[in-house]
Amino acid sequence: GGLAPYLAELERKVSEHHRLAFQSKDGESDWQLLLEEGEMKVYRREVEEDGIVVDPLKAQNVVKGVTAHEICHYFWDVDIRMEWETTVEIVKLVEKISDDTVVVYQTHKRMWPTMQRDSLFVSSIRQVDTGDDEGPSWVVCNFSVDHPSLPVSNKCVRVKLNIGLVCKTLVTPPADGQPITRDDVSCKIAYAAYVNPGGWVPASVLRTLAKREYPRFLRKFSAYVQGKTKDKPIMF
Ligand SMILES: O=S(=O)(CCO)c1ccc(-c2ccc(C3CCCC3)c([C@@H]3C[C@@H]3c3ccccn3)c2)cc1
């Protein structure tokens, strides 16, 4: 369909997010540590394109009691998004491309004084082999596409986004061959977000918004997955 060209771009973006996820940022010294809270570290670089703030965001976290597959599954599943995503108003499945790749339309709650935003993106979940002994990663990539059935509306400004969630399951093997329980697993998360607001937003407004909302999303989403999975069999 009309999305075929995007599927090649999707594979490139998944590989890029996977390659960059756990790479130390020493090379790029211009990452500003926004927040450090336990295992959660949130960084940002201050970047403007044509006077528009497009600050890349990077975050790492370790979530106890859940696996990489579980974190990525709950992040990717459109049906339950409203259970953890507090900044969106409408979430719509526009097209199912395959069992692991969909097109999603979202309107984001209006953040005074900015105009309301919407987003239209391909969202794909898959396992990626790391090639080394660390075992596979699970990756979700959300990136903006144009779709004939969702033209840009005059009500919202269309953001352009490229989001990567790359996760690894850490297992501390239980003593003497006991079965693995949730006390023995945790998920190492690397989240990267490139969001272009699609139109001018005061730099201070957007930076304050990002500084508050990204950590809030990471806290809320991590706790949400722990709650949803605690009485369920482990999904490796
Ligand atoms: O990880 S996701 O794929 C989860 C799927 O829902 C995702 C996360 C964040 C966004 C996002 C969309 C719009 C905006 C702004 C632009 C001008 C006015 C609103 C922002 C700014 C950065 C701040 C922000 C960060 C986190 C949550 C909400 N707000 C972020 C989109 C997708």
**Model pLDDT for residues 27-66, shown as the tens digit of each residue:** 667 899 999 999 999 999 999 999 999 999 999 999 999 9
Nearest Cα neighbor of 100 from 61, 141, 59, 145 is 141
Residue 172: Cβ within 10 Å count:
10
Q: What pTM was estimated for this model as a whole?
A: 0.96
Ligand 1 atom closest to residue 57's alpha carbon, by position in its atom list: 22
Give pLDDT, residue 134: 77
Q: Are 39 and 62 in contact (CB under 8 A)?
A: yes
Ligand 1 atom closest to residue 87's alpha carbon, by position in its atom list: 28
| Cα–ligand 1 centroid distance for 195 (angstroms) | 7
Partners of 58 in the β-ladder: 43, 192
Query: What average pLDDT does the chain have?
Result: 94
**CA-CA distance, 125 to 191, in Å (whole number)?**
14
Ligand 1 atom closest to residue 209's alpha carbon, by position in its atom list: 23
Q: Is the CB of 193 under 6 A from ligand 1?
A: yes
Please report, for residues 36, 69, 220, the alpha-carbon distance to residue 186 in angstroms, rounded to integers and kept in the order given.
19, 11, 16
Q: Is the CB of 111 under 6 A from ligand 1?
A: yes
Q: Is the CB of 209 under 6 A from ligand 1?
A: yes
pLDDT per position as a tens digit, 117-137: 999 999 999 999 987 777 899
